[in-house]
Each structure stands twice: as structure tokens, then as C-alpha cells.
Structure 1
Amino acid sequence: MGERKGLNKYYPPNFDPKQIPRIRKPKNQQRKIRSMVPLRIRCNTCGNYMSEGTKINCREENVIGETYLGIKIHRFYFKCSKCCTELILKTDPKNSSYVAESGATCVYDQHEEEEQAEDGGDRMSSLEKRTLVSKREVDVMAALDEMKSMKSRRVSVSVDSMLEDLSKRHKEEEEVAKEEDAALIKSTKFGKQRRIVDEETDEMEKTKKVRMEAVDEKKPKTKKLACIVTLKKKKTTSLGLASLCHNYGADEEE
């Protein structure tokens, strides 16, 4: 079937391809393509709405002198489906969307709508994200301050001073441990026999004190009786001498 379509061409023997003139095309030549409307637009002349995904025949070209981070920007020319006015759209790689350059207006901006949905619909989630970010920043700043303070301390403190401080702390800990051990030894009582012996000694001391008090009470009573007896003896002797003297004087008178 291939021989009937006339695909074979005859090249004469004196054919030279260098003699064929080359066609010079312009650098920004427009290309005809079949595409779809990327977003919902409204025609400015007739007010017709063209929804997203409407199939169109358009011409595409590169925008000269406009790039975004090395990404080329493209322009599309097509006609309104009702009034056949020319509409122009341009790519927007910064916002990953399209822009209506002339002849039409975008009914809504996809980027702005997403921002509004994030701000309006998920306010609590946005607040939580902000609080988390602020907490992280505070933690990072606190960690940096601690690192700075540690570095300043290390610079100011020498090795000898660190060793002296460590030795002092070790001695203080040993002294505190010894004091605690001594207090524990004094407070503890070993076994029940020690307690019984202590109680017996306390009872013996109490009985001795009671006996001594009884003896002390008896001694002054004997002294008082002896004094009374001596006083009585003195009185009787003095009366006897007086009677003798009185009788002796009476005898001489007689």
C-alpha cells in the first residue's frame, strides 16, 4: 500500500542540498496549539464567562525580557467563544498560576483563594503553628544564651581553680558524711538487753536517793532530842544550886 501514496521522491544525480535556500524564521515565532482555558475568566466586551477546562485554539509565544528565576514566561492568544474578541493570558510562575493580560478578567485568583481558605477556615491551626514557631525561637535563643554563658565561664575559670574547688567539695562531703555517721551511731541502741540494764540502773539510783533522803530526815530529829535533854539537865542543875545556896544562908542565921 505504500507505493500508492507517493512517498518516494526522485533525486536527480546533479542534486546538491547546499543550493537549497534556508528559510529564516523569527526568534519569537508564534505556534498554533490546541489547549484548554487554565482558569475561569470573563470577557470584558460581552461579559461571557469561560469556565476552566474549555477547549480553545490559541497561539503561544515566549515573552521576551521577562523571566522568573530562569523560568521562561509564555503568552497565549485566543478568542472569546461568543463575541470572538482576542483574549490574552500570561503565565505566572511566581504564584504557579496564570494572569489575564488583556481582553478578560479572572473571576478569582487561585493563590488568593488558597490564602483566604488557610486564614479563614483553619485559624486555630494557623495559631497553633505560630505558637510552635515562637516556642522554637524562644528555645533556640535560650540555648544560645546558655552556650554564651558557659563559654564566658570557661574563659574566666582556670584549671588550678577548678581543681581547688573540686578538692574543697570532696573534703566538705567527707566531713558531712562523718558527722551523719556519728549522729546515727549515737541515736541507735543495740539490742534489748542494753535497755533492760539501763532501766535497772535507773531504779537502783532512785531507791538510793529515797534511802538517803530518809536518813537525812532522821538525823535532825535526834539532834533536837539531844538539845532538849541537855536544856533540861541545865535547868535542873541550876535549880539545885539555888536551893542549896538558899538553905545555906538560913542555917547561918539560926
Structure 2
Amino acid sequence: LPNLLSPQKYYPPDFDPAKIPKLKLPKDRQYVVRLMAPFNMRVWWVWETTKTQQGGFLAGSALARVMELGDVWLWGWLWAAWSSIPTLSVFPAVPPQTDPENTDYTMEHGATRNFQAEKLLEEEEKRMQKEREEEELNNPMKVLENRTKDSKLEMEVLENLQELKELNQRQANVDFEAMLKQYKELEEEQRRREQE
């Protein structure tokens, strides 16, 4: 065993690395990797239950995957991760695919994503922004009201920022050595009074 672990190997003088046969790999090669589940999902077909939840997988569950190139998307490739889930008695593929447009993953088939609070909040914000823009297009007074609200909010933020800056400046100008010296002098005066 120590022979195998030694960092130096013996190469004979007639060794020619060009004579080593090269592996010929297919062009549509698949890479088997081990990744974590990118999101919580519920599998459509369930014969056995998992430990985490009935027929579902939590984000971060380790799944064996086969990565392969998918469609071309603007500046790169879409990677599809075909997950074979080890707890099922039959191993169908559950393919979450990269979604570069939204910097997220999408499910092709085989499972559905569980509830996503963040996504719902983002959609609600977009909807509110769209409603506000539509109101502003139809009503010029609403545009003026929204501008005044925005300017008031901006003024409040600037005032708070200015207060914080002043507070930081005051704290930065404090001379701690002088404070300690003054404190010691006060203590000495109190001792003298107590002794008298």
C-alpha cells in the first residue's frame, strides 16, 4: 500500500505518452453529478413515501442527476438536470431545467413546485406597479399625487440618513482617554470626601 501512495512514480526510459490509447467519447455526452434539489417539489407518482414529506422533496435533498445540454438560450445553454429519485420504487426522471431569464429553475414534468412565498410577493409587487402605471396613464392628477408622495418619502429618508451621519460624527469625536481621566478624577474626589 505505501507503494501506491508514493508521490513519485517510475516511468521507463522508452515510455511514450502518445502511444496511450485515447478514450473516444460521444458528442452528446451526459455528465452524472450529485446536486441538491433546487426547490421544494411534490412528485406526481408516489409508490413509497419519503422521510421529509409525503411524496415530495425539500430543497437541498441530495439527488443523483444526469446533466445534459438543452436548447440554446440567448448567450448560453440551458442545462437540464434529470433527477432519478432514489426513494421511488420505479425511477422516472424529474427534470428541473435552468431558467436564466428569471434566474431560477422550472419544472418540465414529473413534479410540481410547492408553495413559494417569495415568488408570490414579487408577482404582487409587479401587479401593484402595473396598476399604478395604468392609473398614471389615465389620470394626470394621480401622477402629481404619486410624485408628491415619492418626494415626501425621499425627503424623510434623506433626513433619517442625515441624523445617522450626525450621530456617527458625534460618536467619532468622543475622546475616550479624556473621559477615563475625568472619571478617575471624579472617583478620587469622592474618596477624599468619604475620608473627610
Q: TM-score, normalised by structure 2?
A: 0.53
- What is the one-letter code of the residue matched to 1:20? I
- Which residue is equivalent to 1:18? 18
Bigger shift: 102-111 or 29-38? 102-111
Residue 89, structure 1, aligned to residue 82, structure 2: no
- Which residue is equivalent to 1:74? 79
- Which residue is equivalent to 1:143? none
- What is the one-letter code of the residue matched to 1:55? A
More helix by share: 1
CA contact (8 A) 1:48 1:82 kept: no
Q: Which runs of 5+ in 1 are unaligned?
A: 139-254
CA contact (8 A) 2:40 2:113 kept: yes
Q: Deviations over 1:188-213 (max 9, x none)?
A: xxxxxxxxxxxxxxxxxxxxxxxxxx
Q: Distance in 2 between matches of 1:89 and 1:71?
A: 17
Within 5 A, what are the aligned runs for 1:97-112? 97-108=104-115
How far did 1:69 drift?
0.8
Larger CA Rg, structure 1 vs 2: 1
How far did 1:25 drift?
1.6
Q: Distance in 2 between matches of 1:111 and 1:90?
A: 19
Q: Percent identity?
A: 25
Higher RCO structure (Cα 8 Å, ≥6 apart):
2
Within 5 A, what are the aligned runs for 1:1-254? 5-46=5-46, 48-63=55-70, 66-84=71-89, 85-86=91-92, 87-108=94-115, 113-114=120-121, 116-118=123-125, 123=128, 126-132=130-136
Structure 1 pair 111/68, CA: closer, same or farther in 2 (3 Å)? farther
RMSD of aligned residue pairs (Cα, Å):
3.2
Structure 1 pair 68/8, CA: closer, same or farther in 2 (3 Å)? same
How far did 1:51 drift?
1.9
How far did 1:133 drift?
6.2
